[in-house]
Amino acid sequence: MDKKWWKESVVYQIYPRSFKDSNGDGIGDLQGIISKLDYLNHLGVDVVWLCPVYQSPNDDNGYDISNYQSIMDDFGTLSDWEELLAGLHSRGMKLIMDLVVNHSSDEHAWFVESRKSQDNPYRDYYIWRPGKDGQPPNDWGSFFSGSAWEYDEKSEEYYLHLFSRKQPDLNWDNPKLRKEIYDMMTWWLDKGIDGFRMDVINLISKVPELPSVSGESNGEQPTYHFGGDYFVNGPRVHEYMQEMNREVLSKYDIMTVGEAVNVTPEEASLYVSEDRNELNMVFHFELMDVDSGPGGKWNVQPWKLADIKSIISKWQVALDGKGWNSLYMNNHDQPRMLSRFGDDKLFPKESGKMLATLLHTLQGTPYIYQGEEIGMTNVQFASIDDYKDIEIVNMYKEYLAAGHSEEKIMNSIYIKGRDNGRTPMQWNSEPQAGFTTGTPWLALNPNYKDINVEKALADPDSLFHYYKKLIELRKQHEIIVYGNYTILAEENEQVYAYLRALGEEQLLVVLNFFGEPATFELPSTVKFQAKELLIANYEVNPEEELNTIQLRPYEARVYKLS
């Protein structure tokens, strides 16, 4: 077993625009983060993942970068960033930066040059093609609705943008571009950062012919399709990841995690197996799609515990001894996990603790998204005008035009919209939740008077203190990090239970996933002489027998068996 610091770490994700505003302009910033470093240290996290703070026109909230080596004015200056890095390191925490290199902003100097003419030296930094019969080069749809191609009148060709039209895809087949990216990564690593989270990194290699999905034209009104067969885990992606590792990553003691769209455990092992020399971990989306119907993300259907168990078990077993799992149930692109997988009305504390227990007792590195540790929830704004996310706004227009009812569209947004996770961090019950003295860039969740950091810190039984204990347990018990995983009572429709094992030790985790009492029968194959209750979200008699456990709503227990 290869022990590494990043396997033993807990990561805290910061979405800077919504974390803490220091100057009253309503936008979170670097000085705001600096002012809360002692809070993060108190929680006990080891690593901060900082969402993009680079220069950007903000078409997609900083994931459209116009200068990779400059800080966005909204967030502060490079010296503020250096102060943040020093502040983290002095407290024993590390910093990983978001690397967004599938695409840049259309305002990046490379693209400004690229679009000047077809023979510009930077033309080949992006993916340009002539149209076909007055239509785009192929029928690929953008992740953010509409065509994945935009016509440029000046140079009379289309450029590819898998995301917004202001996010042109970079051409990774160009070795000059790759060298520029590697040089930029080296520049940040030499400044002392501790790694990268890589945005949609498995989309960087496209099938060179860029074929259409349907192969047929639809006359005047083209229909756009998901072209993933031609750019997800593309033909040269592993060549490029190994080159990146060889040229840059292998020279530093860092952690890397790649966002990997539509990846299976078998494909993931190609990115993360230790003998592959690519990445340490990937973020997969199988669990995040557990409540998506055949129509995709916005076609919401209730999740089933059997599916959650099956997905997690598959990934736990497939990567054991080969690679490493990343453990998360929400982030800046997902709804709040308490609202999605727990009960944020009747059992917020119990279900929040149960979900936290799951994420922090599996094999892998847990990621906490800001506000998760205090039980922040989804939001329901009355009007589409209150939403800022480009994906939500584009979907609303497209679905309305296609004849869907506004009520149905808004309901999907309430359940799955990305702005659920982007409402400002709730620090206290003062106006604007202590996030800003001005008007916040995105409205607050109105429940901030009840759910906030100040209240959580004052309550010894709060979700925050439970997270703190889970993080401490991980540091005290190696089995929580490195033990293997076996599912128990797989057919139980209410309870998720599993066994972790390392040497002579075993860890028993029992979770009631619902708001009704449940019964768990311990399989007779689980043998032990002594038991120790490590953590639970209810009062439990430590002498209670484990053969049959009567669980209360959303009850979670973790026992160490020996």
The pLDDT tens digits for 128-155 are 999 999 999 999 999 998 999 999 999 9
Residue 492 belongs to some domain of the structure = yes
pLDDT digits (tens, 9 = 90+) for 344-378: 999 999 999 999 999 999 999 999 999 999 999 99
Residue 227 belongs to some domain of the structure = no
Look up residue 51 and give its DSSP letter: P
Model confidence band, residue 215 (pLDDT cutoffs 50, 70, 90): low
Residue 496 belongs to some domain of the structure = yes
User: How far, in Å, CA of 159 to CA of 405, rounded?
Assistant: 33
Residues 6+ apart with CB under 8 A from 253: 5
Residue 534 belongs to some domain of the structure = yes
Model confidence band, residue 218 (pLDDT cutoffs 50, 70, 90): very low
With CA atoms as reference, report the closest residue to 161 among 179, 146, 176: 146
User: How far, in Å, CA of 344 to CA of 378, rounded?
Assistant: 9
Average confidence (pLDDT) over 418-445:
97
pLDDT digits (tens, 9 = 90+) for 463-511: 999 999 999 999 999 999 999 999 999 999 999 999 999 999 999 999 9
Q: What's the chain's average pLDDT?
A: 96
Look-up: residue for tokens 């060709």? 157
With CA atoms as reference, report the closest residue to 510 among 493, 522, 501: 522
Residue 407 belongs to some domain of the structure = no
Amino acid residing at 495: V
Residue 465 belongs to some domain of the structure = no
CATH number of the domain within which 503 lies? 2.60.40.1180
Residues 6+ apart with CB under 8 A from 165: 106, 142, 150
Residue 355 belongs to some domain of the structure = no
Q: Where are the beta strands (DSSP E) in 220-344?
A: 255-259, 281-283, 292-293, 296-300, 326-327
What was the pLDDT predicted at 223?
Answer: 86
Residue 244 belongs to some domain of the structure = no
Q: Which domain holds residue 519?
A: 483-561
User: How far, in Å, CA of 49 to CA of 104, rounded?
Assistant: 20
pLDDT digits (tens, 9 = 90+) for 374-425: 999 999 999 999 999 989 999 999 999 999 999 999 999 999 999 999 999 9
pTM value > 0.75: yes
User: How far, in Å, CA of 116 to CA of 118, rounded?
Assistant: 7
Residues noted as catalytic: 199, 259
* Residue 221 confidence (pLDDT) above 80: no
What was the pLDDT predicted at 216?
Answer: 59
Residues 6+ apart with CB under 8 A from 522: 488, 508, 546, 547, 548, 549
User: How far, in Å, CA of 403 to CA of 412, rounded?
Assistant: 15
Domain count, the chain: 1
Model confidence band, residue 61 (pLDDT cutoffs 50, 70, 90): confident
Task: Give the C-alpha distances (Å, rounded to integers) separating 282 from 23, 195, 309.
Answer: 36, 13, 19
42-56 burial string, b = 16+ CB within 10 Å, else e? ebbbbbbbbbbbbbb
Which tokens sit at 371?
Answer: 């506000």
Q: Give the 3-state secondary structure of residue 203.
A: helix
Average confidence (pLDDT) over 451-470:
98
pLDDT digits (tens, 9 = 90+) for 525-552: 999 999 999 999 999 998 899 999 999 9
Model confidence band, residue 435 (pLDDT cutoffs 50, 70, 90): very high
User: How far, in Å, CA of 162 to CA of 148, rounded?
Assistant: 5
156-195 burial string, b = 16+ CB within 10 Å, else e? ebbbbbbbbbbbbbbbbbbeebbebbbebbeebbeeebbb
- The answer to whether residues 524 and 474 touch, using CB atoms and an 8 Å cutoff, is no
Backbone angles phi, psi at 240, to 5 degrees: -70, -40
* Residue 458 confidence (pLDDT) above 60: yes
What was the pLDDT predicted at 219?
Answer: 47
